[in-house]
Structure 1
Amino acid sequence: MMKTFYKLLVVVFILSACEPSANNQQEKYNEQYRSKVHFSPETGWANDPNGMVYYDGEYHLFFQHNPDTTIWGPMHWGHAVSKDLIHWEQLPIALYPDSLGWIFSGSAVIDWENTSGLGENGVPPMVAIFTYHNRELENTGTDKFQSQGIAYSLDKGRSWTKYENNPVLPNPGIRDFRDPKVMWHPESEKWIMTLAVLDHINFYSSPNLIDWTLESEFGEGIGAHGGVWECPDLFPLQVEGTDEIKWVLLVSINPGGPNGGSATQYFVGEFDGHVFEPHGERTKWLDYGKDNYAGVTWSDIPDEDGRRILIGWMNNWQYANEIPTSGWRGAFTLPRTLELTEIYNDYLLVSSPVKEFEKLKSGSKKISGSTVSGMQEINMKPQFPMEINLNFNTENNTAMNFGERFGIILS
């Protein structure tokens, strides 16, 4: 039997991931528990990444944000930008709650052809598509308290105008009706919205980001259903080493993950602009660890780059409100490149830290006595910054159950 090795990459860098503009901000980013390369808000609560879009040399990261306290509460869209996915500049809040509700999760796109009519003077609008969560309606007992709205920016995301006729997708009477992820589908020449609805996904289409039509539903009888479905994402990926294109559907679930808490499952299949058809019915997990949730990918990365880049919330609802930070709570994973590989007639997602982190590396050191069998402790003195490369011998296992059988614990 061929001996196969899989590499698990653990990256621990000490480098400022934010670029504070004043000394007091610099002090905040030297606080205990504050990661130096994982983006975290200067103050307040943060959870799901939202609205990731690339435009004019900047990666935009919006996120669920409560600026007033370190616990989940009235949701805004916080905002940060980066030119290299390593150093982040936090900008003022992009979207505030209004009479229609709090601003829950969603996505953003560049409307290059101005299909929405929201652009001006040849400037394509950056359009945010998000869920309104109306707490007052929820308290009345109705199920119609979540709907989808849009806002647009003509100055690279620095200021936003909400569409005057929001919501663009009213609630038909479904309690969990949220987290729109929108993409342009060139084959059908229309926008596709992937929306989490209770414990399944609804696909909608639109010619203009304003008028939406239900195309199909997906999820009944397939995948994990231990909790509510959230934060979906749909995108095409080329299968490694081939010209084959498959569609990947990410769906976060809370609870019900392999760790018992919140996690992200995925499906691989075909999408024709109307219906998603999965390849096989086996439940697959993006991560088996606890701290990558609600991850979605950037829109509008240039074709010459060709990467599908994801970032997630580095947390788990099992303990999200209990993390012992001061003045802020919630951080985000390292941005990762997603690739698709075919193994044993099935398709698996492969994650790697984005190539930009290569510039932080220097030198290497082999840990003596590093062959481990079974559960074993390795004592070492960490020297930061540090990257750990581990090779697993999977001779008596298959790639299909690798993630369930192998792993490391850092303590």
Structure 2
Amino acid sequence: MRSMPHRFSLRIAPLLIAGLSGAHIAAASCAPPPEDGTPQWRPALHYTPQRNWMNDPNGLVYENGRYHLFYQYNPLGNDWGNMSWGHATSTDLVHWREQPVAMHASATEEIFSGSIVADTRNTSGLGAPGKTPLVALYTSAYKDGSGHAPGTQAQSLAYSLDHGATWQPYAHNPVLTLDPESKQFRDPKVSWYAPGGYWLMTTVVADAHVVKLYRSGDLIHWTFLSDFTLPGVPHDGALWEMPDLVPLPLDGDARRIKWVMIVNVNPWSIAGGSGSMYFVGDFDGRTFTPDRVAPAGSDPAQFRWVDHGADFYAAGTFSGAPSVRPVAIAWMSNWDYAAKAPTTPWRGAMTLPRELALTTIGDEPWLIVTPAAAFDAWASAGRPATRLDDLSVRSTLTELPAATRGIVQRITLSLAPQGASRAGLVVRRSANGAIGTKIVYDTATRTLMLDRSQSGEANFSSAFSKQHIVNLPLEHGRLKLEIIVDRGSIEVFANGGRVALTDLIFPPRDADRIAVFSEGGSATFGELTVTRLADSGDDNHVCASRQAPPGGR
């Protein structure tokens, strides 16, 4: 492709000091991490611990004005192991503070994934006068000396009477196990089922591709309800993990509740490796029945996916969140190559929090996934923004003006491919064009692609897949895109959240340019706005959004 000059008309919105004051106040209480390891890929917008390995989000709960994010964590190193629960808190889903490790692995037990609810009715009897218990249900992975066969997995309980700062294990753990015991029985997600007036748990027998449903009146004693499984689903050797059963009003109508069963699968996802599948159906208090299931032997593309990128796994929703729509978050990595990700002294990050909705598209309900309203409000609050007039590009690539350069950005636009065979953007582009991540729309195949084949460091693993594609028709001849760019990731939301793609990237620090392109004809880029969300050296923002000193609240 040949680059040609174009005229640009741009408008730069001013930086509003009030819009940033909260971040600076929060930053003042903690020091930025040392510039060791790979700071060029340390997220500015996404939660990651200061150091060491993290994976699945756990214990997602909102209580006493704060969001709690617990997660699988290795306190002793930057590889998987010694599984414990790390902990971070936020008041706005944007600025996260790292807390001390909540629950530590021991010589006889590791603390695998699980969930937390605020037991406001004290159904468990674990509360105290004036103190609502936070109750965690988690998987105990037993080792030698535990009284269980090594490798056994069962569901245990712990509770907190100080808003999640300290945790007390239940005296009679585990509270739920299989007979005979299993090495694949894990990941309890608990919610309150209001129509029945009881607690509902989803958990899995991972290697059998079974979601098991239970009920309880006190969070301690559990009664089996039913199994959800799909015989013949073509992913032998895969695991089902981290299930979540979520009620959603169809098209915003509270009288038409449908249930979404999220099942995280590894491997066999739509982008290769691990990913988040979902089913829409009905739940009668006992059994979940999906509306639509692809026939046995179907390709992964015939199933529904929460995200079509490679780096979205273990998705779960926050219990008790005050937002109108459920808020979900996921681990931003992939088991295919997570252990080889080239970041240090940490490894692993979370996606942006996202809101879930259910909308009828073509006579079927589809999950709509968008950045959480809290993030949208923060990103829109007086940030410096460059707005370009409509730009027509014909069979060429054009770099945008210098005012659009940056490495932590939100990009919004409306793309009309018109006569072009392919059109899109290149973000995190180097000055010589050798590095860049492409977002490409193909008009013939009606597909959207995120292409990270030239995004930077990509040779750390042969399983680091390069291109991720999803079917997506235009709407009135246009494709609306919201693209969140961080130091080491891209999140793309298309057509109002009908499609999401999330990918890790590892570009050099100076790859800070944006270009637009078309192939085989003209395309128009309208309503193009680039908002700077952090500066390249904005350590204060990173500190405020990520961590507090050890023991800080």
- TM-score (normalizing by structure 2): 0.65
Structure-1 residue corresponding to 2:212: 202
Answer 1 or 2: higher relative contact order, Cα 8 Å, separation at least 6: 2
Note closer, same or farther for the CA distance 1:397–1:123 as it changes in structure 2 (3 Å cut). Answer: farther
2:409 paired with 1:386: yes
Structure-1 residue corresponding to 2:182: 174
Structure-1 residue corresponding to 2:387: 365
Cα distance between partner residues in 2 of 1:206 and 1:263: 30
Note closer, same or farther for the CA distance 1:110–1:405 as it changes in structure 2 (3 Å cut). Answer: same
Note closer, same or farther for the CA distance 1:19–1:278 as it changes in structure 2 (3 Å cut). Answer: farther
Deviation track 1:44-75 (CA, whole Å, cap 9, x = no partner) reads 11000000000011000000000111000010
Give the drift of 1:175: 2.8
Q: Aligned AA for 1:32?
A: Q
Q: Aligned AA for 2:58?
A: N
Note closer, same or farther for the CA distance 1:345–1:224 as it changes in structure 2 (3 Å cut). Answer: farther
Q: Aligned AA for 2:176?
A: L
2:471 paired with 1:405: yes
Q: Aligned AA for 2:226?
A: S
Q: Aligned AA for 1:192?
A: L
Structure-1 residue corresponding to 2:531: none
The correspondence of residues 73-88 of structure 1 with structure 2, limited to 5 A, is: 73-88=81-96
2:108–2:143 Cα contact (<8 Å) kept: no
Cα distance between partner residues in 2 of 1:241 and 1:398: 28
Structure-2 residue corresponding to 1:292: 312
1:229–1:253 Cα contact (<8 Å) kept: yes
Note closer, same or farther for the CA distance 1:328–1:30 as it changes in structure 2 (3 Å cut). Answer: closer
2:388 paired with 1:322: no
Cα distance between partner residues in 2 of 1:164 and 1:378: 65
3-state SS of paired residue (1:356): helix
Q: Give the greater-gyration-radius structure (CA).
A: 2
Give the drift of 1:43: 1.3
Give the drift of 1:322: 1.2
Note closer, same or farther for the CA distance 1:80–1:342 as it changes in structure 2 (3 Å cut). Answer: same
1:230–1:294 Cα contact (<8 Å) kept: yes
Q: Aligned AA for 1:213?
A: T
Structure-1 residue corresponding to 2:285: 273
Give the drift of 1:391: 3.7
Cα distance between partner residues in 1 of 2:306 and 2:321: 21
Cα distance between partner residues in 2 of 1:92 and 1:191: 29
Give the drift of 1:297: 0.4
2:157 paired with 1:125: no
RMSD between superposed Cα atoms in Å: 3.2
1:219 to 223, 229, 234: 229
Could you tell me which runs of 5 or more consecutive residues in structure 2 were left unpaired when the two chains were aligned. 1-19, 295-302, 417-440, 450-467, 473-491, 493-500, 508-553
Cα distance between partner residues in 2 of 1:379 and 1:288: 27
Give the drift of 1:153: 0.4
3-state SS of paired residue (1:404): strand
2:138 paired with 1:115: no
Could you tell me which runs of 5 or more consecutive residues in structure 1 were left unpaired when the two chains were aligned. 1-13
Structure-2 residue corresponding to 1:4: none
1:292–1:333 Cα contact (<8 Å) kept: yes
1:144–1:171 Cα contact (<8 Å) kept: no
Structure-2 residue corresponding to 1:150: 157
1:137–1:145 Cα contact (<8 Å) kept: no
The correspondence of residues 179-190 of structure 1 with structure 2, limited to 5 A, is: 179-190=187-198
The correspondence of residues 30-109 of structure 1 with structure 2, limited to 5 A, is: 31-98=39-106, 100-109=108-117
Paired residues in the alignment total: 392
